[in-house]
Amino acid sequence: MLRFITLGLAFAAAPAAAQQDEIVVTGRGLTQGLGEDVYGTVVIGRERLTGSASNRLEEILREVPGFQLFRRSDARTANPTSQGATLRALGGNASSRALLILDGVPQTDPFGGWVSWPAYDPRRLGSVRVVRGGGSGVYGPGALAGTIELISADPSELRGATASAAYGSRDGIDAYAGAGLSFGRGFVSLSTSYASGDGFVPVIQEQRGQVDRPSPYEQASASLRAVAPLSESVELQASGLVFSDARERGTAFSDINTQGADASLRLVGDARWAWSALAYVQARDFYNSFASVNAARTTLVQAAEQFNVPSTGLGARVEVRSPLGSGLELRLGGDLRVVEGETKERFNAATRRRLAGGRTATLGAFAEGALEKGPLTLTAGGRIDRWRIEDGFLEERLFANGALLIDVRHPERSGWEPTGRAGIAFRPSGAITVRAAAYLGWRLPTLNELYRPFRVGPDATAANPELSPERLRGFEAGVEYRPLSTGRIGITLFDNRLEDSIANVTLGRGPGLFPGVGFVARGGEFRMRRNIDAIEARGAEVDAALQFGSWSLSGGYSFADAEVRASGPALPLRGLRPAQTPRHSFASTLSWRAVARARASVTARYTGDQFEDDLNEQILPDALTFDAAASFPLTRSFSLEARAENITDERVVAGISGAGIIERATPRTLWIALRYGR
């Protein structure tokens, strides 16, 4: 971890020499596009990002109607490979179907497509912008379900130096320090965070055995950004992010470690021709151990071990905005992303060794225009991508003598993918906005989906190197009503069809030998990653907010009716709900903030029941949880904070294994903290 931090700090600590001209730098990318508000959008502000009970970004995002992770657990106990993000009930897969970007840089894991959420402390962000709906071509491919844009805080939001230290349940520690410092015409922002705890026992009490124990975690990250002007209209932004994430899943031989380092350079020009140019690099290293537990949960052995999963992501993006006149905008640009990685594993009771991996690349160009004239806004755009999958391989050997058992080299594949989006918004009065949009999107299979088979308990899932890209088409229509300057309510209806959607399809049950995974014991299920015909999702989203004096109330509700359309080997899935997809979800936060820096909030979250598996045989019951947070000033610089997660200690079922073992998400967790800063 120290090596990653040193490299990140050295990279980003080089702002241009200070000068005395009055030039304002922002550290931001180009301003929001003229037609962006045509699409269903939710913005999470800095106050909410710094005032949650958990201080975890994935939990804050659960307040956005339609947002979900593949599992209900947060990043303290869930396996990172199950933490892909999606929107609008397009789940059923652990890889992200939403495009996550930080200051313009894609953030999903290069090998697996999941998200390392502990890397993104919400206290270092200025805002989060969630655009629901596919086809956001200006940010790159992959935005099937939508785009989640993380925007780093600037010095005015960081307000000098801040720090906090919290102690919580189960010997939990949550520490953070950050600063935004101006240097001449530029600025540097630095933040570090650390979290650890003994954790809780994931398996519910009535099913625990001798092998079950708490699930400790230790997570740290550091971010450094340097911004400096190169001229009156051009600024250079250098960013570095490093993180380390260690978790255990509640038994011996279930530890998981992720390390990562990201670096990026961005030039932003704000003249008559506005433009930006971005280049970035991602490096990840992943370790994952798996335990096999007997039925009585009295003994276990190490079943498999991903002892090294190195991966890298390289990319670049350019955008130019043409000056066509007031109320008229044209965005032109292109992007490149190349990812490669491999998994190195021991499996079959450490008697075999597996190597599997490959490389993918996408090169795309986009154009989008927008017109704003009086109460009317029109926007339309498209992009074309060239994709390539190459160097795919699978090799298995006996561990004892190195004898080669499997040696497969997969053929290179490539293709073209056109996508686009268009929308209209009409404001018949200052209080009402009516809008509609249609879009196309696509996602390339990850290296993990293409090449890596895996096991969870007695269940085994085979990879599929012949997977096709996922493709989405959909439309939405909505209305927003703002009867007051401090109040609004918005309703959006949507209809999406995700074609060739990638799912883990159940094809058989043990005992028996199955292709790609070998022997599956009695009680286990054999699955394979396959393209199924489609997932169709229709529903509605409601967003509302009201400010009244020092009080504010915000909330959102999502209804999503999703069904699988399938044929062939996946025919048993036809008409079923995608795995891990609730029909109903709701979240609401009541906040109070005084002039003297005192503040308090209560958040309620409801998730409807959902199915653990693709065959809809194991149901995860619905759950209602409450969080609370309060902060009271002690002096001009110090505040006392108290936070509570899952106040009622609701049992939130996060998973059910093939053997019927039930795992829960975070129980009641209490925190007390001391905070320094304005």
Q: What pLDDT band is residue 25 in, cutting at 50, 70 and 90?
A: confident
Cα gap 245→342, rounded to integer Å: 20
- pLDDT per position as a tens digit, 128-185: 999 998 767 788 888 888 999 999 998 888 878 999 999 999 999 999 999 998 888 8
* In the predicted structure, residue 447 carries a pLDDT above the cut 80: yes
Residue 8 has pLDDT above 50, yes or no: no
**pLDDT averaged over every residue in the chain:** 90
**Bridge partner residues of 333 (DSSP):** 319, 366
Identify the residue with better confidence: 323 or 218.
218
Most confident range (mean pLDDT) of 227-231, 262-266, 632-636 is 262-266
What's the length of the chain?
Answer: 678
Burial label, 562 (beta-carbon count in 10 A; 0-12, 13-18, 19+):
buried
- Nearest one of 541, 577, 582 to 562, comparing CA atoms: 577
Over the stretch 198-256, which tens digit does the pLDDT of each residue have?
Answer: 999 999 999 999 999 999 999 999 999 999 999 988 999 999 999 999 999 999 999 99
The amino acid present at 4, given as its one-letter code, is F
Across 505-513, average pLDDT: 84
Q: Is the pLDDT of residue 457 over 80?
A: no
Separation of alpha carbons 549 and 580, rounded Å: 40
Helix (H, G, I), strand (E, B) or coil at 134: coil
Q: Per-residue pLDDT tens for 520-572?
A: 877 788 888 999 999 999 999 999 999 999 999 999 999 999 999 999 888 98
pLDDT at 110 over 80: yes
Largest CA distance in the chain: 77
Q: What is the pLDDT of residue 5?
A: 37
Q: What is the pLDDT of residue 252?
A: 95
% the chain with pLDDT above 70: 96
Cα(142)–Cα(152) distance, rounded to whole angstroms? 22
User: Is residue 286 predicted with pLDDT exceeding 60?
Assistant: yes
Task: Say how far apart CA 144 and CA 135 lie, in whole Å.
Answer: 6
Q: What is the pLDDT of residue 23?
A: 63
- Comparing CA positions, the residue from 448, 329, 465, 489 lying closest to residue 406 is 465
Predicted confidence at residue 461, as pLDDT, reads 87
pLDDT band at 92 (very low <50, low <70, confident <90, very high): low
Provide CB contacts within 8 A for 326, sequence distance 6+.
none
| Cβ pair 291, 251 in contact under 8 A | yes
Q: Is the pLDDT of residue 610 over 60?
A: yes
Peptide bond before residue 465 is cis, with ω within 30 degrees of 0: no
Give dist(CA 92, CA 97) in Å, integer: 10
pLDDT given for residue 383 in this prediction: 93
Residue 368's beta-bridge partner residues? 331, 381
669/308 Cα distance (integer angstroms): 33
Residues 428-454, mean pLDDT to the nearest whole number: 93
Average pLDDT of the residues in 619-636: 95
Cα separation, 27 vs 398, in Å, equals 53
d(CA 35, CA 439): 14
Residue type, 213: R
Helix, strand counts (H, E) of the chain: 5, 38
Euclidean distance between CA atoms 527 and 550, whole angstroms: 54
**pLDDT reading at 340 higher than 70:** yes
CA 90 to chain centre: 14
- Dihedral sign, Cα of residue 260, residue 265, residue 269, residue 274: negative
122-126, 405-409, 517-521: range with lowest mean pLDDT:
517-521
Give mean pLDDT, residues 323-328: 83
pLDDT for residue 12 is more than 50: no
Phi, psi of 57, rounded to the nearest 5 degrees: -60, -40
- Give the pLDDT confidence score for residue 505 in this predicted structure: 85
User: Which whole number is the average pLDDT over 445-467?
Assistant: 88
pLDDT digits (tens, 9 = 90+) for 646-665: 999 999 999 998 778 999 99
Helix residue spans in 67-171 (DSSP H): 155-158
Per-residue confidence (pLDDT) for residue 18, from 0 to 100? 35
What domains, with CATH codes, occur in the chain?
2-676 (2.40.170.20)
> Model confidence at 6, in pLDDT bands (50, 70, 90)?
very low
Cross-strand bridge partners of residue 323: 329
Would you say residue 9 has pLDDT above 50? no
Neighbours of 264 (CB within 10 A): 23
| Residue 142 near residue 164 (C-beta atoms within 8 A) | no
Is pLDDT at 498 greater than 80 in this prediction? yes
3-state secondary structure of 256: strand
CB-based contact 629:51 (threshold 8 Å): yes
Question: Over 70: is that where the pLDDT of 41 sits?
Answer: yes
CA 507 to chain CA centroid, Å, is: 29
Cβ neighbours for 294, distance < 8 A, ≥ 6 positions apart:
300
Do the strands 98-102 and 146-152 form a parallel or antiparallel pair, or are they unpaired?
Answer: parallel
